[in-house]
């Protein structure tokens, strides 16, 4: 037998201490294993998520202009917005040797759908205002220049209606500037008799 026997009261105290130690150890272990995740900051009611960056829809606008007259390649051309008359003339191959560029404003801004007219020397025309406009009587006030005339200018000629006027513009578009009045004979719908009637009223 032990020289120092444990009394019943001491045994109860030791058991209680052991239970308390085990309880505290288990509680400490549980706190480490079930630690709460970091709290999420709530979103304020007046805060809204930033919208995604909108794609730019302002695509560069193109202009479509017609370049006629004393240029190397008359025709329709697409140019970026903000272009000038000089840009349109450059796209048309540049002014020809017979062009009178002093009569046009090369710095003027372009607008969609306009016609840029480069006059020949001696024609007296200006860009956007070709010579040979119709007089009040319905007859041309002067010779209509075939390379700068508009549809309305051509319709003012005797015997030339909208259909024939458009054929003249189409011929100019396809074959380039008229070199002489005699080239009108190649336009469908204009015969020898009509040529004789128009010869003194038109010029290249």
Query: Are residue 78 and residue 106 in the same domain, yes or no?
Result: yes
Q: Domain containing 164 — which CATH number? A: 1.10.150.320
Answer yes or no: do 117 and 134 share one domain. no
Same domain, 135 and 197: yes
- How many angstroms separate the Cα of 85 from the Cα of each of 102, 131, 144, 157? 13, 18, 23, 29
Residues 155 and 106 in one domain: no
Q: Locate 183 and state its tokens.
A: 């080239």
Are 147 and 169 members of one domain? yes
- pLDDT given at position 83: 92
Q: In 3D, which of 90, 113, 116, 122 has the Cα closest to residue 104?
A: 116
What is the total count of domains within the chain?
Answer: 2
| Domain annotation covers residue 193 | yes
- Domain membership of residue 33 (yes or no) is no
How far, CA to CA in Å, does 38 sit from each of 23, 35, 41, 107, 187?
A: 27, 9, 9, 67, 87
Per-residue pLDDT of the chain in tens (204 residues, 90 and over written 9): 445 566 777 778 777 777 777 777 777 766 655 555 555 555 555 555 555 554 443 346 888 998 988 888 989 999 999 999 999 999 999 998 888 888 888 888 888 888 888 888 875 444 443 333 333 334 444 688 888 888 888 888 887 888 888 889 988 888 888 888 888 888 888 888 888 888 888 888
Looking at residue 68, which CATH number applies to its domain?
A: 3.10.20.600
Tokens coding 126: 């200006």
| Domain membership flag for residue 97 | yes
Range of the domain at 70: 60-122
User: Does any domain span residue 162?
Assistant: yes
Q: Are 90 and 158 in a shared domain?
A: no
**Does residue 154 belong to any structural domain of this protein?**
yes
Same domain? 161 vs 116:
no
């Amino acid at each position: 037998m032990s020289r120092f026997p444990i009394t019943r009261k001491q045994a109860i105290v030791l058991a209680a201490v052991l239970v308390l130690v085990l309880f505290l150890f288990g509680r400490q272990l549980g706190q480490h294993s079930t630690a709460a995740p970091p709290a999420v900051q709530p979103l304020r009611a007046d805060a809204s998520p930033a919208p995604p960056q909108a794609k730019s829809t302002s695509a560069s606008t193109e202009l479509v202009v017609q370049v006629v007259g004393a240029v190397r390649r008359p025709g329709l051309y697409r140019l970026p917005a903000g272009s000038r008359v000089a840009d349109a003339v450059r796209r048309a191959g540049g002014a020809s040797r017979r062009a009178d560029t002093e009569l046009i404003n090369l710095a003027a801004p372009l607008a969609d759908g306009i016609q840029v007219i480069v006059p020949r020397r001696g024609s007296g025309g200006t860009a956007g205002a070709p010579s040979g406009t119709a007089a009040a009587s319905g007859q041309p006030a002067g010779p209509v220049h075939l390379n700068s005339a508009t549809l309305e200018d051509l319709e003012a000629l005797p015997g030339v209606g909208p259909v024939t006027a458009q054929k003249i513009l189409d011929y100019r578009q396809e074959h380039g500037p008229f070199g002489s009045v005699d080239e009108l004979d190649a336009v469908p719908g204009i015969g020898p008799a009509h040529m004789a009637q128009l010869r003194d009223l038109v010029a290249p």
